[in-house]
Amino acid sequence: MKKSDLPLRRPDDDLTYRDYKSWPAEEHWELIHGVTYSMSAASDPNHRKLTEALLTELQNFLEGKGCRVRAASLDVLLPDELGQDVDEFSTVVQPDIAVICDKKKFTKQGCIGPPDLIIEILSPSISPEDMEVKNRLYEEYGVREFWILDPGNRNVQVYLLDGREKYPADPAVYTEDGTVSCAVLPGLLINLGEIFRKLD
């Protein structure tokens, strides 16, 4: 994710989903609190390999279960306040991978409200500051579990909401020589060595 170097389409106003859905489909943007961010990570081959590997693991695990997994083409729309018209939402993101267990959240627009699990995969175009924006956003909206997959260091950082609805300052870190489980999907166990081997 890289903050856009281009001018905002409505420089004097906060942008909303109404603006977002009018943009050409070939342009890939996210909208966070009214500010546009360019999505360029998907063109990175390593990013694509890791996304496909994780997606396969999750699809196999969730087969026949109530939760659904979706990749980056899914719009996740997050309201600014209860009862707000969807067109006025100022936040629309496309996580690399999202797992949603409440089917009522699926609408013609995408997913309304926070997924249960979000996985974001780092790439050269994503800065630490960009990921910190996502971390704060997902905590704010109550995403129960948030993973950051780091291909450079070959590890996964796991943030899990605590009893105060906050993420820990220091996430749990799992390396390529081990496995990672998922609190919101009991029974899921992913061999990280097999995932990162896709990069070799």
- In this prediction, residues 57-83 reach a mean pLDDT of 95
Which one of 3.90.1570.10, 3.40.50.280, 1.10.3720.10, 2.40.50.140 gives the CATH number of domain 43-79+90-199?
A: 3.90.1570.10
pLDDT of residue 129: 82
pLDDT on residue 130: 84
User: What would the pLDDT profile of 153-196 be if each residue is shown by its tens digit?
Assistant: 999 999 999 999 999 999 999 999 999 999 999 999 999 999 99
pTM score: 0.91
**Position 73 confidence tier, pLDDT thresholds 50, 70, 90:** confident
- Tell me the torsion sign for CA atoms 92, 129, 124, 146: negative
For residue range 48-68, list pLDDT tens digits in order.
999 999 999 999 999 999 999
Q: 58-93 in b/e burial notation, b at 16+ Cβ within 10 A? A: beebbeeeebbbbbbebbbbbbeeeeeebeebbbbb
> How much is the pLDDT for 39?
78
Beta strands in the chain (DSSP E): 2-3, 29-32, 35-38, 68-71, 76-78, 91-93, 97-100, 111-112, 117-121, 145-150, 155-160, 172-175, 179-181, 189-191
> What is the structure's pLDDT at 42?
60
Angstrom distance (rounded) from CA 14 to CA 148: 28
What DSSP string runs through 156-171?
Answer: EEEEE--TTS---SS-
pLDDT of 3 over the 60 cut: no
27-31, 46-50, 73-77, 105-109: least confidently modelled range: 27-31
Count the Cβ atoms, other than its own, within 10 Å of residue 53. Answer: 18
Beta strands in 24-154 (DSSP E): 29-32, 35-38, 68-71, 76-78, 91-93, 97-100, 111-112, 117-121, 145-150
Please report, for the chain, the start and end positions of each structural domain, with discontinuous segments joined by +. Answer: 43-79+90-199
Give the model's pLDDT for residue 15. 95
Q: Residue 13: what pLDDT?
A: 58
Percentage of the chain lying above the pLDDT 70 cut: 92
- What is the chain's Cα-based Rg? 17
pLDDT of 26 strictly over 60: yes
Q: Which residue has the higher pLDDT, 136 or 126?
A: 136
For 175, the 3-state DSSP assignment is strand
- Which tokens go with 107? 């609408």
